Structure 1
């Protein structure tokens, strides 16, 4: 698939996906969502990719929201379909990806942009970042998982305040809320993302995939997170990574995980 709205680069087991619509502040439209789905799928299926970094082009925005012009005249049925298809194709898809996804939030992350960042497994932000879910100011609510993931990350009361006021918070407030893990300068944002990725790369990709499955299970209706943890823990014992990791520990050497 030829990309018009994103860039895709793999180097040293890290794939960087950059949303590249600077004239639209990297707003999400249907074409961009389709391209992102394809890029994440491609990276996840690539055995050489162990970590995915997601960011936006330029210095102003990660993703400044959805492209409102695409759905301003939608009917009830079309609106529901828009949310369902978007969640399945991109937001839930990213959240359940077996490869860890790190969102490097540069500038505005609003509406669908913040929802996309929240779908990632780890979030870091530049000190000029602004985050919010302004949908109620348009007469609608977040439709790409925002009403669910934001309370999980910051708590119910803070989520209600952010959603109901349609306001933005800055990077330091997001750090205080637990919405992001780290805040740094814009210049150091990608180096920090790469540094975190390098730490992840030292560990078993099979165990990391199992951890993603177990953690996600604790936030899903009908799933028992503890049971999922037990299952995934047990499965690890049958992997080559477990054999390598334990033998390396006992032999006091650095593990060289085969990823199997």
Structure 2
């Protein structure tokens, strides 16, 4: 398997990528971090055990993305559907979220990483909400990799929310129906400030989007791996990027048009 190894750039000292691959690094990678519960069950432990051991995978993904100069990394951390899980698991996840975000501040500051979020964060418990907002504020001036946590998020919720905003503007006379375009829709999404992901990775061997970035993934390259999320490491990230680099992205055009 070919990995992307650079000789003298920022990425060269950590990944080993070949020079010819440096120009084809995706700006934005999105990850569905799946398999924590199954990982724990295989070890005869409770699901939260898997969530706790997934922190290493998150660190490796962040540091791996940063080493390559990737600009945006969106992590599907907690969906709107996850609120329906057993209360003890949800409570434990929220406590883990608070601890993890707080513990990672030194790393974020050292690496010049900015923490951001998408989703209905107002629905988070007060302590989780406050911790998230505090860390976002503390890292707001960082200019490196943007790590975007999708929290209390779903694609259908996001599209419904955006549609309501647009409908409100139409009812107030601020926007005409005939002026509603794909661009207008994108501008009302949670991700309006970010480019759409070029690569989406899903772990655990599942082959579905699970209500994640439904609009934004329209032309995104998909990469599915059987690796359970707690076992995911930067070499798996690099393998996904290597696979992405082998693909021809046509956006509806023919291969001949892309090459010309």
Q: TM-score, normalised by structure 1?
A: 0.31
Higher relative CO (Cα under 8 Å, sequence separation at least 6) belongs to: 2
